[in-house]
């Protein structure tokens, strides 16, 4: 995509023109871009090391005339792209201590007819109180996939239980109570709140203290995720990120606590690679 609009303004940027902005100005403006046709979130990609010219991308509206197809980096079909329903009454269980960012999800195979209490796509799980719950074992990656793809999942009352380890619950509640998109964050509701936070990344960068920052659009919440310096390399390695520009446009989900700064900026701190997952995109070669 060669053009994108500055959100809240009439200015439409051409990609090469945008790339010539002073670095500090570019970093601010790239966090408030939208598709010039449908108005959905857009992001800027600088010229790549492989010679791909600067350009814009967007998570376009379904009927947008500029819409292009994207592939999710690191996912293989079939599996995660198949219909992925939650069995009624089941609890979604995530074991954070078993998370591995390098693994690619495929849907669980249906349980055999003779399995005790088995349900399609699910497993049996023992909760902290010793009660056996009929549960579906998800990963953070699979939850992020559902949040991105399914508006009905975002408002679901299905129970989610995130376990820090086998016996310690970190986050528990209905999907629409414990998952919060960046654009919905407010100091009154979310300050000091431990939950699942998610949204699209407009830019990424590092500060002098070694922290890695994933920044959302200023017009869609303006949230940032701070990844501590001692795990920044593990994060980049786990998700095979060679260039921070590769993170632009990605969707991210993190289990963490949100803090609002004095300036009103929401920040979610990440202290473990097991608590975060990303979905990166590239343009499809087969539109």
pLDDT digits (tens, 9 = 90+) for 185-205: 999 999 999 999 999 999 999
pTM for the model: 0.83
* Average model confidence (pLDDT) across the chain: 83
Q: Which domains does the chain have, with CATH numbers?
A: 3-68 (no CATH), 91-176 (no CATH), 179-283 (2.40.50.140)
DSSP string, the chain: --EEEETTSS-EEEHHHHHTS-HHHHHHHGGGEE-TTT--EEEEEPPPTT-PPPEEEE---TT-TT---EEETT--SSSTTS--PPPTTPEEEEEGGG--TT----PPPPPPTTSTT--TT-EEEE-TTS-EEEEEE--HHHHHHHHHH-HHHHT---EEEEESSSS-EEEEEEHHHHEEEGGG--HHHHTTEEEEEEEE--EEEE-TTS-EEEE--TTTT--EEEE-HHHHHHHHHHTT-SSGGGGTT-EEEEEEEEEE-TTS-EEEEE--GGGEEEE-EEE-S--
> pLDDT at position 264, please?
93
| pLDDT score at 136 | 82
In the chain, % of residues over pLDDT 90? 69
In this predicted structure, what is the pLDDT of residue 286?
54
């Amino acid at each position: 995509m060669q053009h994108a609009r500055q959100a809240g303004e009439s200015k439409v940027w051409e990609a090469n023109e945008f790339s010539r902005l002073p670095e500090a100005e570019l970093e601010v403006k790239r966090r408030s871009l939208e598709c010039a046709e449908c108005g959905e979130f857009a992001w800027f990609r600088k010229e790549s090391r492989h010679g791909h010219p600067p350009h814009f991308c967007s998570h376009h509206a379904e009927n947008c005339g500029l819409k292009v197809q994207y592939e999710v980096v690191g996912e293989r079909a079939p599996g995660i792209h198949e219909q992925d329903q939650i069995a009624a009454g089941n609890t979604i269980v995530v074991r954070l201590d078993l998370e591995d960012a390098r693994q690619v999800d495929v849907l669980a195979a249906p349980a055999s007819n003779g399995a005790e209490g088995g349900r399609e796509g699910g497993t049996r799980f023992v909760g902290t109180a010793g009660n056996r719950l009929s549960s579906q074992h998800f990963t953070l990656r699979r939850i992020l996939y559902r949040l991105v793809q399914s508006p009905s999942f975002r408002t679901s009352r299905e129970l989610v239980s995130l376990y820090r380890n086998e016996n310690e619950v970190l986050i528990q509640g209905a999907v629409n109570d414990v998952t919060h998109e960046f654009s919905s964050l407010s100091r009154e509701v979310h300050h000091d709140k431990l939950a699942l936070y998610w949204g699209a990344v407009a830019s990424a960068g590092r500060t002098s203290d070694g922290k890695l920052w994933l920044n959302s659009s200023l017009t869609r919440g303006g949230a940032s995720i701070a990844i501590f310096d001692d795990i920044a390399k593990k994060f980049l390695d786990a998700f095979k990120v060679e260039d921070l520009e590769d993170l632009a446009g990605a969707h991210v989900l993190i289990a963490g606590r949100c803090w609002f700064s004095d300036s009103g900026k929401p920040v979610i701190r990440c202290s473990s690679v097991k608590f975060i997952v990303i979905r990166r995109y590239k343009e499809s070669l087969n539109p």
